[in-house]
Structure 1
Amino acid sequence: MNKILSSSVIALSLAMASVHLYANDKVVQRDTSKVTHIQEIRNATIKVTYADTTFLIDPMFAKKGFYEGFPDTHRSYLRNPLVDLPIKPETILEGVDAVIVTHTHLDHWDDAAQATIPKNMPLFVQNKEDQKIIQSQGFKDVRVLTQATFEGIKLTKTGGQHGTDAMYRIPKLKAGLGEAMGVVFEAAGHETVYVAGDTIWRSEVDQAIQTFKPDVIVLNTGNALVDGFKESIIMGKEDTYHATQKAPNAKVVAVHMDAIRGGPTCLNN
């Protein structure tokens, strides 16, 4: 039975010894006895402590209401973020070894984070365009991720799409949505963790689950809506349920919900 876990601030100690079914119906043992710690801070901002290394993912540090609502989105008259950071930025950064920016939308990489994070911090990004943007902000160690090893941890970029095909057929909307990546974390003795990023459910997500057999899946599930479409630009509760069916042995962690106005999905749902 899957565990669907969500909270405005959660710290999860995730550890279990497990047996997984791989391709060709071969059962192989995977040692997952060591602890993974995931802390949701706000919205898509999380800390993943994995194999004695701590990653900060998609930092947004602004105070409550600092930014105008995103144009052409659900209830865009509300200012973002909707809630304050529960932890001071300086405290969030304690122990962080590297930052992962899945894409440079404001709710994943904002001015406040840029001003607080040390300029020599290693950062992983999805492509050369984002690398150039973040380098222009003064950061010295910005790495384009396809597959890399960092402190003995294998990091692999995964695909997705930040909205439906119909949305991407509209040039202005396509430009606004842009690209976004997910990341898989692998290390001997540890659970495999898949952070899907800002994507709807697509074949790339299915492929990542099939290929990596993650023990932990982190999904952005706020069901964010743009004007003129019933479909979301990220996942919603149906996708979260779908994940429990596709990966029945995985722990599913739902984030990116209440803190940014763009969709109707909330923690109560």
Structure 2
Amino acid sequence: MVHRIHRSPTMRITQLRNATLIVHVGQYHILVDPMLAPMNALPPLRLFARKRLRNPTVDLPANAAAALAQVTHCLITHCQKGHFDHLDRAGKHWLRERQIGVICTPHDAAYLRQRGLNVQPLLAGHATPQPFLGGTIQTVPCTHGLGLVGALMEHGVGYFVALPGEPSLYLSGDTILTDAVRGFVRQHQPDVCVVPAGGAHFDLGGDIIMGVHETIAFAQIATGRVIANHMEALSHCPVRRLDLRQAALTAGLAYRMVVPEDGEMVDLR
């Protein structure tokens, strides 16, 4: 099902760092998965690497404070089992101080309430769209790695957001490219998809998010624009933006794939 745009859209996305971004749409500014700690404030994610780099490996961009000052809502894809790269202590403090409404799954609601956040959980279940900002929102299951590593991960969800007169938006969450993801994209064909492309992995086991190959394969399934992030900010994400851009060019997808720099705003109108 392809969603048509019936009036002039306003949607833009500001990529802040890693999976942290802001969706701007009319009067709403929706923060996604805030990791707001300064550079090197968080522990390493590769314990047996030659260099045990602390995280994040880069600071927030210079325009982060101004962008964050606009935020009206927050979406959390996953946050338990130590996933500080999607909600760290600084992000919790920032949300708690401002009492920003935090939209999350029922699974994460109690965890976030215990930390003093203004939690607005969705109903249980992935199949049914629910009301959201005058449109709808639907959760989509993630697979954050397979095997033993996958068994230890918090898999979380992605979000499919459809607002009147705006591009339909799929925020995939942290996932590898599974049959469930393929099926969802083929069925809904979002106008815009945001996917994690950093190829993250630990000392043992396979990738826990998409890398170059799977991101290109995803973009070949999707018919809309693909925005790739989750790169060049964490010590266990080896994919470079330059390499993904080159792969997109080689695959004939450069006209539909956007690989934004930190701080870059992508206009989806």
- Calculate the TM-score normalised by the size of structure 1: 0.80
Q: Tell me which residue corresponds to 1:34.
A: 9
Q: Is the 8 A contact 1:78 1:261 kept in 2?
A: yes
Query: How far, CA to CA, are the matches of 2:181 and 2:8 in structure 1?
Result: 26
Q: Tell me which residue corresponds to 2:229.
A: 255
Are residues 262 and 88 of structure 1, via their aligned partners in 2, closer, same or farther at CA, if it must alter by over 3 Å? same
For structure 1, the 5+ residue unaligned runs are 1-21
Report the RMSD for the aligned CA atoms in angstroms.
2.2
Query: How far, CA to CA, are the matches of 1:99 and 1:259 in structure 2?
Result: 21
CA deviation string 1:133-167 (max 9, x = no partner): 11011113331355432220311111120002x23
**In the alignment, which of 10, 18, 39 is matched to residue 43 of structure 1?**
18
Are residues 157 and 29 of structure 1, via their aligned partners in 2, closer, same or farther at CA, if it must alter by over 3 Å? closer
Offset of residue 186 of structure 1? 0.3
Query: How far, CA to CA, are the matches of 2:186 and 2:143 in structure 1?
Result: 18
Q: Tell me which residue corresponds to 1:192.
A: 168
CA deviation string 1:20-77 (max 9, x = no partner): xx4xxxx885537413101100010000112532110000000000011025576671
Q: Is the 8 A contact 1:51 1:187 kept in 2?
A: no
Q: Tell me which residue corresponds to 1:179.
A: 155
CA deviation string 1:108-154 (max 9, x = no partner): 000011111245321111333x2111101111333135543222031
Q: Is the 8 A contact 1:74 1:224 kept in 2?
A: no
Q: Tell me which residue corresponds to 1:9.
A: none
Q: Tell me which residue corresponds to 1:120.
A: 99
* 1:204 match: secondary structure: helix
Equivalent residue pairs, number: 235
For structure 2, the 5+ residue unaligned runs are 244-269
Q: Is the 8 A contact 1:184 1:192 kept in 2?
A: yes
Query: How far, CA to CA, are the matches of 2:28 and 2:159 in structure 1?
Result: 15
Query: How far, CA to CA, are the matches of 2:4 and 2:61 in structure 1?
Result: 39
Q: Is the 8 A contact 2:3 2:190 kept in 1?
A: no
Are residues 195 and 78 of structure 1, via their aligned partners in 2, closer, same or farther at CA, if it must alter by over 3 Å? same
CA deviation string 1:213-263 (max 9, x = no partner): 10111001100012222x20000111111122101x311101001101113
The amino acid of 1:148's aligned partner reads: Q
- Calculate the TM-score normalised by the size of structure 2: 0.80
Q: Tell me which residue corresponds to 2:138.
A: 156
Q: Is the 8 A contact 1:220 1:255 kept in 2?
A: yes
**In the alignment, which of 80, 83, 89 is matched to residue 111 of structure 1?**
89
Are residues 205 and 131 of structure 1, via their aligned partners in 2, closer, same or farther at CA, if it must alter by over 3 Å? same
Q: Tell me which residue corresponds to 2:39.
A: 64
Query: How far, CA to CA, are the matches of 1:103 and 1:259 in structure 2?
Result: 18
